[in-house]
Amino acid sequence: MNYPGKGLVEGLAITARNFVGSYFYKDRLTTVQYPEERVQTPENSRTFPFLVFDESPDKPRCTACKICEVECPPKCIYIVMDRDDKGKPLQRPKVFDIDISVCMQCQICVEVCPFESIKMDNDYEKSRYGRFNDLVQRLPDLLKSNAYYNKIKPAEAAEVDAKLKAEAEAKAAKKAAAAAAAAKATAVPPAGSVT
């Protein structure tokens, strides 16, 4: 049936249905009451990078190789390697700063890291009151445990753990083989040359 003003009346009916329905059906409400309830972010969502450590924060995976610092397109990473009293490099960062006001969340640092050390976080509550120093993430802010990494991104972390484990085993096996070979070399001296 078609009558003058049909569209107007149908529109009013729809809004009335929304008005009443939103009081009775929770699933109609599309907004989230933010501080009380949060949206579950997808596993592969990412915000800013963080550094993974294995057992304790003073032993990070990062070796301060500075590949990420060099590769970072907006140059938001600043690294200084730690050195002991004699000036010998200790293969761990002394300073590791990421300016998250500059970071563009491109994940390139993660792609280039050879030590599976820097990973993308999914913590989106990074807002601060200050505009400058508050937005620079220092080493203590950045270091997070492997358990945390496993919690936020289970599939990816499991893959990384398996890879690291395989590498460690291969390394151990190689070391053992090398040791065995060395032992063999020392145990059986030039005697072999006789035959």
Partner 1 sequence: METIYQILHTTFANVPAWAVQIAAFLIPIAFIFGVYPAIFALTTLVERKALGRIQNRYGPNRVGIFGILQPLADGLKILLKEDIVPRVADKFTHFLAPVLIVIPGLLVYLVVPVAPGMVAVDLKIGVLFALAVGTMSVIALFMAGWASRNKFSVLGAVRAVAQVVSYEVPTVMAGVAVIMAAGTLSTLTIVQRQGGGLLNISNWYVFRPWGLVGFALFIIGGLAESARCPFDLPEAESELIGGYHTEYSGFKFALFQMGEYLAGMAMAGVTVTLFLGGYMGPGSGPGLAGGLISMLWFFVKLAGMIGLNIWIRGTWPRLRVDQLMGFAWKVLLPLALVNIVAVGFWHFLTPRPLAWIITTGWLVIWFLVLTKCNASAKLEKREYRYV
Among 1, 31, 85, 184, binds partner 1 (CB under 8 A): 31
CB of 2 to partner 1, least distance (A): 11
64's torsion region: left (phi>0), alpha (psi -120 to 50) or beta? left
Element (H, E) at 173: helix 154-187
Residue 71 in contact with residue 112, Cβ under 8 Å?
Answer: yes
Following DSSP, what letter does each residue of 48-77 receive, concatenated?
SEEEEESSSTTSBS-----HHHHH-TT--E
Task: Using CB under 8 A, pick the residue from 1, 24, 33, 131 that binds partner 1.
Answer: 33
The answer to whether 28 contacts partner 1 (rule: CB under 8 A) is yes
68 within 8 A of 118, measured Cβ to Cβ: yes
Q: Is 38 in the site for partner 1 (CB under 8 A)?
A: no
Which residue among 6, 22, 115, 123 contacts partner 1 (CB under 8 A)? 22
**Burial letters for 73-95: b for 16+ Cβ neighbours within 10 Å, e otherwise?**
eeebbebebeeeeeeeeeebbee
Q: Which is nearer to partner 1, 8 or 194 (CB)?
A: 8
Closer CB to partner 1, 12 or 102, in the complex? 12
Q: Which is nearer to partner 1, 36 or 85 (CB)?
A: 36
Quick one: which of 6, 12, 44, 159 contacts partner 1 (CB under 8 A)? 12
Q: Pick the stretch among 22-30, 61-69, 77-85, 110-118 that binds partner 1 (CB under 8 A).
A: 22-30
Spell out, one character per residue from 112 to 141, where the chain touches partner 1: x when CB under 8 A holds, - when not: ------------------------------
- Residues 55, 72 contacting (CB under 8 angstroms): no
Q: What is the spatial distance between Cα 65 and Cα 114, in angstroms, rounded to a whole number? A: 9
User: Rule CB under 8 A: which residues touch partner 1?
Assistant: 4, 8, 11-12, 14-16, 18-19, 21-23, 28-31, 33
